[in-house]
Amino acid sequence: MNKKIRGLLLAFLIQYFGISGFLQAQDQQQGFINLDCGLQANESPYTEPTTKLTFTSDADFIKTGKSSRIQNVPGVTQGTNYLIVAMFVYGNYDDLNAHPKFDLYLGPNIWTTVDLQRKVNGTRAEIIHIPRSNSLQVCLVKTGTTTPLISALELRPLRDDTYIPQSGSLKNLFRVYLTDSKDTIRYPEDVHDRLWSPFFMSDWELIRTSLPVDTSDNEYDIPEDVLATAATPGNVSAPLTISWNLETPNDLVYAYLHVAEIQDLRDNDTREFNISAGPNVSYGPVSPEESQVYNLFNTSPVKCQGVICHLQLIRTQDSTLPPILNAIEAFTSLEFPQSETHANDVAAIKSIEKSYGLSRISWQGDPCVPQQFLWDGLTCEYTNMSTPPRIHSLDLSSSELTGLIVPEIQNLTQLQKLDLSNNNLTGGVPEFLAKMKSLLVINLSGNNLSGSVPQALLDKMGLNLNIQGNPNLCSSSSCNKKKNSIMLPVVASLASLAAIIAVVTLLLVCCIKKGPSRGKGLSPSQPSIETKKRRFTYSEVLTMTNNTERVLGKGGFGMVYHGYINGTEEVAVKLLSPSSAQGYKEFKTEVELLLRVYHTNLVSLVGYCDEKDHLALIYQYMANGDLKQHLSGSSFMSWIDRLNIAIDAALGLEYLHIGCKPLIVHRDVKSSNILLDDHFQAKLADFGLSRSFPVGDETHVSTLVAGTPGYLDHEYYQTNRLSEKSDVFSFGVVLLEIITNKPVIDQTREKPHIAEWVKVMLTRGDITNVMDPKLQGVYDLGSAWKALELAMTCVTPSSLERPNMSHVVHELKECLISENKRTRDIVTTRSLDINLSFGTEVSPKAR
């Protein structure tokens, strides 16, 4: 097939693209593993002309939507220090001209985000990592509307005594040698195929040698061509300074400096210098000797000041020559805290998969983690991140299984629930099921099992066993084959029987209270939704969510599931729970409101379902979750990101208050109702409590109080008089969350409510005690003060003293202007450009 078709096929298949780490080593290249991703199998292998390395197709190592299985080929060695490189080049293979952006995972932990929208010429991700097992899983995870792609994956074994961080792995920032050349150096000059890019500053002086440099005793195997040039400062009294940018101020940095004295020194010449990386980090003096290579690095990670690192080589007073540097590598420490699923469980589930010939697109990567990519049909126990998860239940019902109940199931030693119902299994019920100590529920109904159920299984206390629908299967105590179905619940105790009676009683009471159903989704007292546009059937809802396969979250309304419309458009589907405290009235309110309003900062309603007892709202999918998750989680949000999110949310509220006739009050503005799309644009969500004002001159309505404690307007709570200023109060609380990253209510504080706490803190006149410590002071002070004062004005007790949302939007934009000016000033600082684009030496073709 041609490349275009291949690319479209991958675009369809790679929803959670996974490359199994069962990769085959290539002995002729010292254990190198080279995969050209997307290469047709009949074109594999081939020799890349520049490096002479042999590349192999990834066809045997990916899992697709086809029925073929992963081929488990050995190659990765546990405990070996590997240089892992993934390369990405987008060649508009799908004719959409949509550069992808997606997450890259190494096992169950995120490695990095690949953004080809920003790096349109392609990019590479590089890490030095020691696998914890003899397999390696590299996964590309779709996070937005674009489809992930990968051009090549390369693994290079390194010496085990090099590049050893204090903990975690080393994520590459850059690797450069100091020269005015334009040549990139890699294999075969570098035996480990590290990529050395040229870098030089105009105020440096270049030193070059044509003589060979002795690298025989150099454990880092630095290429001779890399060491043949070096830089010294043009001003011999000045330090040699290299600066570079970090992603966040919390990044921990490792720097590897490679120094060789390649200048002919006179008898009275001395070269001696110290190395400084800030006020608290220094090393030296260093006095390189001729014909020796020095590899200088920090054994403990260094935290730079803010988001820019400054490394200086400073001449000592005893030195007659300036400092010298040939090459430098920089890394950030990347922790992989999430343990992989217990190895025994992984081996067992993969054996079960192989025995039954299963081919499920979700069965890729680690079975249990990350939790959002849990294999379909499994539930797992998560003790903590450092403890390997265990598989607790296996549901293979209606999976077209044939043959016997395979013995590999008993290797899932922590299994509590097994469901093999509605398949075509034959043979007997195996004895080993009775020996599985943790097993509490077994459902074998709807198969073609035969013979007698083992007595040990019938006698097992606390086990619920269902063998209904197996005509040729009977219990050992009664083998009446005329019965078409047998149900054998094994009840552990009278307490269990009492629990069943209680549940039945509760169901009867609920049925009496519920009364007649709504028929076609309505009760006699509830008018129909006026418009029927974009209405879906419940069957269509189940199809789009793949039978509610992937849970996104849970709210007061009910569970929210991930789904697709027409297989391409991502949506979030919120199903009304029968026990929902909101109910049909709020459902109807939200549907009717969202069908008549539209704004870029409001979550748009794609459709709804109103079919008998089944109610659902279908929204546009918001890939990055809600604001509260990002504030309370481990991810870093810069001050400029927070201001942009605040402005987006404020614009959404401004539209409800001014752009809608009659105006609409949201009534439940809070950080968890501010959702973020794949570009981190914020949109207001959850309009079930919203109210429209009547037409006329009234400035408020009287209504029962509704909202979330902490965000609820005190004046509205006391008077039941609702106005748009109630939303302003709630937004002010959200703005305080954005600024402080503190809980809205914290009973351990002297003043539990966030607004009262901030008020007390501001009396001391020190904003640093109020601002989120994660920001580490990286913000424009005037911008921060202005935002804080605005937030406090919004939460003023009297609604008359609060600003309207138009004023709020204006003030926040002023804050953003101040912060943008500060960041522009920083950009002018001389720094090393680490966003190295691909050149002609790159072997993988664009996809």
Annotated binding site for ATP: 574
Structure tokens at 106: 């190494």
Looking from the CA of 758 toward its CB, the CA atoms found within 13 Å total 30
- 628 and 669 Cβ atoms separated by less than 8 Å: no
Q: How far is CA 135 from CA 54, 65, 248, 618, in A?
A: 21, 22, 31, 40
Structure tokens at 298: 């920090």
Distance of CA 595 to the CA centre of its chain: 32
Distance of CA 593 to the CA centre of its chain: 32
- 379 and 416 Cβ atoms separated by less than 8 Å: no
Q: Is 94 part of the annotated catalytic residue set?
A: no
Q: How far is CA 374 from CA 337, 649, 847, in A?
A: 17, 32, 29
- 1 and 42 Cβ atoms separated by less than 8 Å: no
Active-site residue, selected from the candidate residues 668, 686, 727, 780:
668
Looking at residue 809, its amino acid is: V
151 vs 827: CA distance, rounded Å = 31
- 146 and 101 Cβ atoms separated by less than 8 Å: yes
Which residues neighbour 5 within 8 Å (Cβ) at sequence distance 6 or greater? Answer: none
Centre a 10 Å sphere on the Cβ of residue 202 and count the other Cβ atoms it contains: 6
Helix (H, G, I), strand (E, B) or coil at 582: coil
What phi, psi does 6 have (nearest 5°)? -60, -45
What phi, psi does 767 have (nearest 5°)? -70, -25
Closest to 846 (Cα-Cα) out of 66, 94, 72, 25 = 94
609-625 burial by CB neighbour count: b if 16+ within 10 A, else e? bbbeeebbbbbbbbbbe
9 vs 25: CA distance, rounded Å = 27
- 777 and 768 Cβ atoms separated by less than 8 Å: yes
End-to-end CA distance of the chain: 14
Question: What are the DSSP calls for 599-633, one per residue?
Answer: -TTBPPEEEEEEETTEEEEEEE--TT-BHHHHHHS
780-807 burial by CB neighbour count: b if 16+ within 10 A, else e? beebbbbbbebbbbbbbeebeebbebeb
Helix (H, G, I), strand (E, B) or coil at 407: helix
Long-range contacts of 215-221 (CB under 8 A, 24+ apart): 215/293, 217/292, 217/293, 218/293, 218/295, 219/159, 219/161, 219/162, 219/295, 220/159, 220/162, 220/256, 220/258, 220/295, 221/159, 221/190, 221/191, 221/192
Q: Is the dihedral of CA 163, 167, 168, 170 positive or negative?
A: negative
Q: Is the dihedral of CA 544, 548, 549, 551 positive or negative?
A: positive
β-partners of residue 674 are 684
Angle (nearest 5°) at CA 611 between 609 and 614: 75
Question: What are the DSSP calls for 586-598, one per residue?
Answer: HHHHHHHHHHH--
Closest to 339 (Cα-Cα) out of 384, 393, 374, 394 = 384
Catalytic residues: 668
